[in-house]
Chains A and B, each alone.
Chain A
Amino acid sequence: QVQLVQSGSELKKPGASVEVSCKTSGYTFTSYAMNWVRQAPGQGLEWMGWINTNTGNPTYAQGFTGRFVFSLDTSVSTAYLQISSLKAEDTAVYYCARRYCGGNCYTDYWGQGTLVTVSS
């Protein structure tokens, strides 16, 4: 069965960096793009962008350029989100989510989420 398993919660100080991993199984990793979605505490869902797992080409939503980097290791079917120069407002749950595109596109499988807390 399809699974996306994310790395555990992180507590970081402002200015530090963090890497969130998303290990997949149960399907061909390079056949589906990967979305990243942020959810700040008590807030809604915000699309951060996606990465083409075939080419490695990332697309970032406005507001997620510069400090945010999507990457892949196809040898272990894993996607990564790196955030640098962390700020308090980066505190959120970050989700990886598989992007399925047939006639329409949608996000059919989600990781369990990784809570990143930025606090001094």
Chain B
Amino acid sequence: DIQMTQSPSSLSASVGDRVTITCRASQSISSSLNWYQQKPGKAPKLLIYAASSLQSGVPSRFSGSGSGTDFTLTISSLQPEDFATYYCQQSYSAPITFGQGTRLEIK
């Protein structure tokens, strides 16, 4: 199975900050990497697919980059509604696996 490791596990930041979350795969997954946002009590929401493609309706302050084993999710200017948990997911091969999540909290 492909292991996905996110860092950091948690992060405190302020509104307006630029934030980067990283995700590392245990083997190359090309660009088969997706990012999701989950708020408490809600279903995950797709933000980025194929490493860098912005899902329709997602604000442009979210961006993704990377290929192979190393990927990043960047939020250019944090907004109050961005405080949530973020997960990466590889869809390169079964079983699909998720990172452990990064909890983004208000400083």
Q: Do A and B bind each other?
A: yes
Which partner residue on chain A sits nearest B95 by CB separation? A61
Please indicate the chain B residues that have their CB under 8 angstroms from the CB of A95 in the complex. 43-44
A45, A46, A97, A111: which has the most chain B beta carbons within 10 Å? A45
Q: Is A59 an interface residue (CB 8 A)?
A: yes
Please indicate the chain B residues that have their CB under 8 angstroms from the CB of A75 in the complex. none
Number of A-B pairs, beta carbon distance below 8 Å = 60
Q: Is B50 an interface residue (CB 8 A)?
A: yes
Contact of B50 among A44, A46, A104 (CB under 8 A): A104
Q: How many residues of A contact B (CB 8 A)?
A: 22
Q: How many residues of B contact A (CB 8 A)?
A: 25
Known: A106-B34, A106-B91, A108-B55. A47 touches B46 (CB 8 A): no
Closest Cβ of chain A to B26, distance in Å, is: 16
Please indicate the chain B residues that have their CB under 8 angstroms from the CB of A105 in the complex. 32, 91
A110 and B45 contact, CB distance less than 8 A: yes
Q: Is B22 an interface residue (CB 8 A)?
A: no
A106 and B43 contact, CB distance less than 8 A: no
Interface string of A64-94 (1 = CB under 8 A from B): 0000000000000000000000000000000
Residues of chain B touching chain A, judged by Cβ–Cβ distance below 8 Å, are: 1, 31-32, 34, 36, 38, 42-46, 49-50, 55, 87, 89, 91, 94-101
- 6 tightest A-B CB contacts, nearest first: A110-B43, A104-B50, A106-B49, A47-B96, A105-B91, A61-B95
